[in-house]
């Protein structure tokens, strides 16, 4: 099977962006001032909050022989905020194109899917694969990708250089745990705005033989509302159905944030 066929079918995975975008930070007052200040990072999800993201992914075949560039947009909506603080987020693909070297060509997007995170950002539930979903990426693997760019926040204040670690049940391999390691790097300037910078590494077994998938992600979060404005990821050994493991480098940027605007479309202060 050609890499082109794989990429036309793997749109679900390439759409994985940053679900932290649809959250609001509970504590922003501590982020003003010096970059070495202690900050408290916490999610405050708002039902109906909506963002649109653009992702550009450079996908590499298992043998490294060929590369495809996949560009897509996806809308993320907070569907439900539960009493315990967990949140259900739906991801609806929009436009998509694939470039094998001769220029981008439109390609059909995959069906919507959903994931559930607890109040700290840990993955707790994966949506079921739909009958019309032809992606070679099973929902459990797609959910791990979503988890890799959804920052799991600490339960205590942090300063630049502080690290924390968390785990959750591996949806791919029963009885195994997924490990997330995070570092708060302090304040950075991105496109003229101050942002929190968090680095997150996910490690997960993809089979009973111990094959490991790793995803390293850098996330810039807007301290005025906790939303993510930029994410860059490097992935290795994503399992696929029939095509073997693949890897990619991707960048995700904010296109529109309808959940953070006034009725007239202007940005909230």
d(CA 135, CA 8): 8
Domains of the chain: 3-257 (2.30.230)
Distances (CA, A) of 1 to 129, 171, 177: 22, 27, 32
Report how far apart the first and last C-alpha atoms of the chain are (Å, whole number): 51
Cβ–Cβ under 8 Å, residues 228 and 222: yes
Question: What SS3 state is found at 252?
Answer: strand
CB 146 within 8 Å of CB 152? no
**Dihedral sign, Cα of residue 186, residue 190, residue 192, residue 193:** negative
Q: By the 8 A CB rule, do 42 and 26 touch? A: yes
Cβ neighbours, 10 Å, residue 53:
26
Q: Return the DSSP state at 260.
A: G
Residuewise pLDDT in 10s, the chain (269 residues): 454 444 434 433 444 443 444 554 443 333 344 456 888 887 778 899 888 888 888 887 666 666 788 888 888 898 999 999 888 988 888 888 888 888 888 887 767 878 888 888 888 876 654 544 555 567 778 778 778 877 888 989 999 999 999 998 998 899 999 999 999 999 899 888 888 899 999 999 998 888 899 999 999 987 776 677 899 999 998 887 766 777 888 898 888 665 544 333 334 43
The bridge status of strand 177-190 relative to strand 193-205 is antiparallel
Residues 6 or more apart from 254 whose CB is under 8 A from it?
21, 51, 52, 53, 227, 228, 229, 230
Look up the pTM and report it: 0.76
- Coil, strand, or helix at residue 141? helix
Q: How far apart are CA 225 and CA 32, in angstroms?
A: 12
Cα(262)–Cα(6) distance, rounded to whole angstroms?
41
Give me 224's structure tokens.
Answer: 């005025």
Q: Is 86 exposed, middle or buried (0-12, 13-18, 19+ CB in 10 A)?
A: middle
Query: Contact at 8 Å (CB) between 243 and 260?
Result: no
């Amino acid at each position: 099977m050609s890499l082109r066929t794989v990429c036309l079918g793997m749109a679900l995975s390439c759409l994985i962006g940053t679900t932290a975008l649809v959250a609001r930070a509970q504590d922003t007052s501590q982020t003003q001032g010096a970059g070495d200040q202690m900050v408290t990072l916490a999610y405050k999800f708002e039902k109906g909050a909506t963002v649109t993201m653009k992702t550009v992914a450079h996908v590499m075949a298992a043998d490294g022989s060929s590369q495809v560039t996949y560009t897509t947009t996806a809308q993320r909506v907070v569907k439900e905020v539960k009493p315990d603080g967990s949140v259900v987020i739906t991801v609806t693909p929009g436009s998509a194109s694939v470039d094998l070297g001769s220029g981008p060509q439109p390609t059909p997007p995959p069906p919507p899917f959903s994931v559930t995170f607890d109040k700290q950002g840990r993955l707790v539930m994966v949506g079921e694969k739909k009958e019309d979903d032809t992606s070679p990426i099973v929902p459990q693997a797609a959910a791990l990708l979503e988890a890799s760019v959804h920052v799991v926040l600490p339960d205590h204040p942090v300063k630049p250089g502080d690290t924390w670690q968390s785990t959750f049940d591996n949806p791919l391999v029963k009885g195994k745990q997924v490990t997330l390691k995070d570092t708060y790097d302090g304040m950075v300037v991105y496109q003229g705005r101050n942002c929190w910078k968090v680095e997150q590494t996910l490690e997960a077994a993809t089979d009973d033989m111990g094959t490991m998938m790793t995803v390293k992600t850098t996330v810039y979060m807007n301290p005025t509302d906790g939303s993510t404005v930029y994410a860059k990821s490097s992935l290795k050994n994503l399992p696929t159905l029939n095509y073997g493991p693949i890897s990619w480098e991707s960048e995700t940027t904010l296109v529109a944030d309808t959940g953070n605007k006034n009725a007239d479309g202007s940005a909230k202060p």
